[in-house]
Amino acid sequence: MDLSVMFFGADDASTVGHATKYDDILAITKAADWLGFTAVWTPERHFQQVGQVFPNPALLSAALAVATERIHVRAGSLVLPLHHPLRVAEDWAVVDNLSRGRAGVSVATGWHSKDFVLAPGAYEDRRERAFRDLTLLRRLWAGEAVEFTDGAGEPVTVTSQPRPYSGHLPLWTTTSGSPATWEAAGRMRTNILGATIGQTREELAGKIRGYRDAYDQAPEQPGSPPRGTVTLMAHTYVGETDEHARERAGGPLKDYLRSYVAQTAANKGGAGRAAALSDEQLGTLAAFAFQRYLTWGSLLGSAETCRKSLADLADLGCDEVACFVDFGLGVDEVLAGLERLAELREDM
């Protein structure tokens, strides 16, 4: 099984400073490159406490590309309806050239209404836009000339430049858990980026089966591999013992979960249920979620505990675990946990 490192946007930049946070991201990515991790994922976040330093995964990935030698640099995720697909093709072709073919993108439809300050007209039909433009992105990456409307309102045919280093762009579809999105990813023959959070093992197994069936039945797409990759995000900290991991990760992770729930509550496009929760109720919810992660779906624990978790995820049909590491731990703790995880991988 492949192991990659995922940044998801902890809200500690206000205390350490944004410049220092970028230094930490570079240090962790360089270590992951040296330790042999498969990829590093950076998200797209806008206007929220969570993820202040991640407005543009292409820009950050370009920096990571020139600071590393082997590790793949991926968007996890890029909110495609917020961007013109031609600009996405241009930006990621730069990353692909700088990295000599190590670029990859997971496409998300977007979920938070505030993000769409950047493209307010794209919010209502964001799902349809994302799937339509994903197909267009494949065509542009392959060098196909595509017709658009220019500034004078006239049709014009353009080819994306610069040309990428790789003939095909590895693509994932990001899902928050909807079975329909899992199956849509299969029909489009993209890889899938999901998460263990918020679902049982049995529910996830059913979604993976649905994805595999849809993928097998779908027609070939440019650049699509014979078998799609199932990548699952999981909160990760490998400690010296189970107790050590829980002691170190418990407080930061619970704080992160509280912040994430608050962000969800501010989403005008959501149900708004979390907005009615008191601070005490938010704390109870975060504590419950943390205990659930310890039971299943995380890599929080000793090397032996995490070895069993990885074996279980492999049995489930997972090909790659994206290890979510930036939920509030200090950079030294993150690096120590990654070193223990790398040793664990070598022993498997």
Res. 8 pLDDT band, cuts 50 70 90? confident
Query: What per-residue confidence (pLDDT) applies to 272?
Result: 47
Query: What per-residue confidence (pLDDT) applies to 347?
Result: 76
Asked whether the predicted pLDDT for residue 261 surpasses 60, the reply is yes
Q: What is the pLDDT of residues 78-126, one digit of tens each?
A: 999 999 999 999 999 999 999 999 999 999 999 888 889 999 999 999 9
Res. 163 pLDDT band, cuts 50 70 90? very high
Which regions of the chain does DSSP assign to beta strands (E)? 2-6, 39-42, 72-79, 103-108, 146-149, 155-158, 171-174, 191-195, 230-238, 299-301, 320-324
Q: What is the pLDDT of residues 12-22, one digit of tens each?
A: 555 568 899 99
Q: What is the pLDDT of residues 185-211, one digit of tens each?
A: 999 999 999 999 888 999 999 999 999
Query: What per-residue confidence (pLDDT) applies to 39?
Result: 98
Least confident segment among 161-165, 239-243, 249-253: 249-253
| Alpha-carbon gap, residue 114 to 46, rounded angstroms | 8
The count of other CB atoms within 10 Å of the CB of residue 216 is: 12
Query: What per-residue confidence (pLDDT) applies to 346?
Result: 81
Domain boundaries along the sequence of the chain: 2-237+318-347
Predicted model pTM: 0.92
| Alpha-carbon gap, residue 74 to 57, rounded angstroms | 8
Averaged pLDDT for residues 124-133: 95
Query: What per-residue confidence (pLDDT) applies to 258?
Result: 72
More confidently predicted of 249 and 348: 249
Query: What per-residue confidence (pLDDT) applies to 17?
Result: 84
Structure tokens at 42: 């950076």
Burial state string for 57-92 with b = 16 or more CB within 10 A and e = fewer than 16: bbebbbbbbeebeebbbbbbbbbbbbbebbebbbbb
| Alpha-carbon gap, residue 335 to 326, rounded angstroms | 11
Fold of 2-237+318-347: TIM Barrel (3.20.20)
